[in-house]
Amino acid sequence: MSRLGTTLQAAREQGRTLLMAYLCAGDPTVEASVEALCAADTAGADVVEIGWPFSDPVADGPVIQAASQRALGHTGRAEVLDAVRKVRAASKAPIALLGYCNPLLNRGLEATIRDLASAGVDALVVADLAFEESEPWRSACRANGISLVPFIAPTTQGTRLQAIARAADSFVYAVALLGVTGQRTEQSASILPIVEELRRYTEAPVLAGFGIGDGKQAATWRRRGLDGVIVGSALVAEMAAGGSGAVGDKVRSIRSELDKLG
């Protein structure tokens, strides 16, 4: 079983809420981002998610947009792969890479997927990839032992939802609200009927992302029946304010709230 598959299965057997922690590669430097990602792992993240900086991250709010801008001047393909390799060497956690089509396709899809697999990526999340256009990506990922993670949103319906369920080979990323990434005070429940319908067609874990900024909000999603949460903007903000130590503290506080649920 893959590193990611083992982690997901163990969490299910233990009743553990999955926590995926996102940071942008190269923000503020490659070494600093690697240190912070490893700190997130040590503090209790089950999966670490490395962002590939991009000039037009349309799914992201101002916090992650700013992180991408800080990283872009010194972080390209080679530096992202270097960050992945360094995290892989220092961390036991599965690695997800979040990117956008443009930089991922710059040197060819198959070459990029091979490079990601060689560096140690376990899962790929492509923020602007339409599910209907994902089969070539899925095929290339499958050939290299990487899971291409599908999205569901409050607007996902019918046969499209069933197709997404069939394609899920690790976990499903549930976009918890319409809009861009970023912390929110209120946690919308609009995705819940979609998750309930999805579970009719797949046993893959479902993780909620977008808008989750602290442990209490994360615990809310667990109580609503989600298998885990993805936290990004809140950790990027901690990184900007206090570096890897602040990131570790934030992850530890979220992990503590989740573990209180059993």
Helix (H, G, I), strand (E, B) or coil at 209: strand
Q: Which of 46, 60, 115, 122 is catalytic?
A: 60
Residue with tokens 């209907």: 132
- Which residue type does 212 have? I
Q: How far is CA 229 from the centre of its chain?
A: 9
Cα end-to-end span (Å), the chain: 26
CA angle 258, 122, 259 (to 5 degrees): 10
249 catalytically annotated: no
Helix (H, G, I), strand (E, B) or coil at 39: helix
Count Cβ atoms below 10 Å from residue 139 Cβ, excluding itself.
Answer: 14
Q: Which of 27, 35, 41, 49 is catalytic?
A: 49
Cis peptide before 205 (omega within 30 of 0): no
197 catalytically annotated: no
Q: For residue 205, what are its two tokens?
A: 């874990």
Catalytic residues: 49, 60
